Chains A and B, each alone.
Chain A
Amino acid sequence: MIQHSLPDAPVESAGDEFGEFDLTDDDILEAMREIPGYLDITTMDFRAVYHLAHRHALDRLFSGIAAGRLMRREVRPLTPDIPLAEAIPSFVRQGLKSLPVVDGQRRPLGILTETDVLRGLGAETFLALLARVIADAKCIKSEQHHRPVGELMTAPVVSVPLDAGLRELLAAFARHPGRAMPVLAADGRLAGLLQRKVFLSAYRPDRRP
């Protein structure tokens, strides 16, 4: 006896919703059979309530997730002409494993990641480099130190706008192997750097309203 004027559209698109199951009529009817007594709702009523409640739950769980809120603002980006030898200390000082590379207007051109640096030094991973250091102290190609960042960086860079939410960030991190990605202001300039670990720790499924 619940009103049947519920909107159809959100119900039809239920399958697109993040983490939401497509419940069949049989699933719902079977569940209703397991509950003793007469439930005066139809399967459509249930699906509509489920869909909307799910969306509210997502909003509650992920309301704190926005690139602009989670990003680190204090980032000193690199420029493409800096030699690698100068770029490496900048990583260490800032405690970051990737740094955006920007032009004169702070527009991102690429991102220099730890992997890019290691590859420039002739190693694929830090452990591969370490193995070679142990075997032969001369393994590091020191002539590489003077190569500019612009030659080694990953470009184009995957970046996100300030208001990117959960879905957008998940998709961006999936397209991008790095540990961090630049967050851009509306004018395309670098606003900050979003670290993957910060993004992950903002996901709090146990949060209550």
Chain B
Amino acid sequence: MRLMAYFNKMRGSVHGSPPRVSLPEVLWSWTGAFLGIAAVAWLNQRFFVGTDLTLAIGSLGASAVLVFGAARSPLAQPRNLIGGHVLSALVGVTCWQWLGGEPWLAQSVAVASALALMHLTRTLHPPGGATALIAVIGSDQVHELGYLFVLIPATLGPLVLLAVALLFNNLVAARRYPEFWL
């Protein structure tokens, strides 16, 4: 009986997922994400290509989805955006340095611990998990940064997104950002 209940939970409920947003909303989200990633990528190209540093990490794409596509979400607020990336990067770099000899373990411990730490600090930001994983999987360039990875890109990148989100989301009449800072 308990087993039935267990499998029943996998069927989901008939209750609805959120409705599709309006077309203008889609266009605004598109524009916001475009501007946010454009700013990050342009700054990266202008100042960091050819240096040991980088600003462009994949997890910023995920952050852009939240910050421009679900700006009301608690997961998309500045505390989460910045806090999530910074704490997860710290966890990721630490896991690489301590457990790098066993990559599968370093990767899994990094993501799981980043998640736990974000929960504990109320900074849950799903892209943070990607940042923690990137710090371990890396590229050699990422690994060589060591804890500098926490500052660039993991603090600076989200800060650029935050600046664009503040400027852009508040231009739109139907949007406001953030819901809260801390």
- Let me know if B22 and A1 touch, CB within 8 A: no
Distance between Cα atoms of A36 and B176 in the complex (Å): 11
Q: Which residues of A contact B126 (CB under 8 A)?
A: 1
Task: Identify which of B14, B15, B16, B18 contacts A38 (C-beta below 8 A).
Answer: B18
- Let me know if A43 and B72 touch, CB within 8 A: no
- Let me know if B18 and A40 touch, CB within 8 A: yes
The segment from A25-33, A118-126, A182-190 found at the interface with B is A25-33
| Size class of the contact patch on chain B | 10 to 19
Distance between Cα atoms of A37 and B177 in the complex (Å): 12
| Size class of the contact patch on chain A | 10 to 19
Most buried by B among A1, A28, A38, A43: A38
Q: Which residues of A contact B22 (CB under 8 A)?
A: 36
> In residues 1-43 of chain B, which contact A (Cβ within 8 Å)?
13-19, 21-22, 25
- Let me know if A29 and B13 touch, CB within 8 A: no
- Let me know if B69 and A1 touch, CB within 8 A: no
Assuming the contacts A37-B174, A37-B175, asked whether A42 and B16 have C-beta atoms less than 8 A apart, the reply is: yes
- Let me know if A40 and B16 touch, CB within 8 A: no
B170 within 8 A of A: no
Q: Which residues of B contact A135 (CB under 8 A)?
A: none
Most buried by B among A29, A32, A36: A36
A164 within 8 A of B: no
B154 within 8 A of A: no
Distance between Cα atoms of A127 and B134 in the complex (Å): 87
Task: Identify which of A1, A37, A40, A44 contacts B15 (C-beta below 8 A).
Answer: A44
> In residues 47-72 of chain A, which contact B (Cβ within 8 Å)?
47
- Let me know if B15 and A25 touch, CB within 8 A: yes
Q: Which residue of B lies closest to A8 (CB)?
A: B13
Distance between Cα atoms of A130 and B19 in the complex (Å): 67
Residues of A that sit less than 8 Å from B by CB: 1, 25, 28-29, 32-33, 36-44, 47
Could you write out 27 A-B pairs with CB less than 8 Å apart? A1-B73, A1-B126, A25-B16, A28-B16, A29-B16, A29-B19, A32-B18, A32-B19, A33-B19, A36-B22, A36-B25, A36-B174, A36-B175, A37-B21, A37-B25, A37-B70, A37-B72, A37-B174, A37-B175, A38-B70, A38-B72, A39-B70, A39-B72, A39-B73, A43-B15, A44-B13, A44-B15
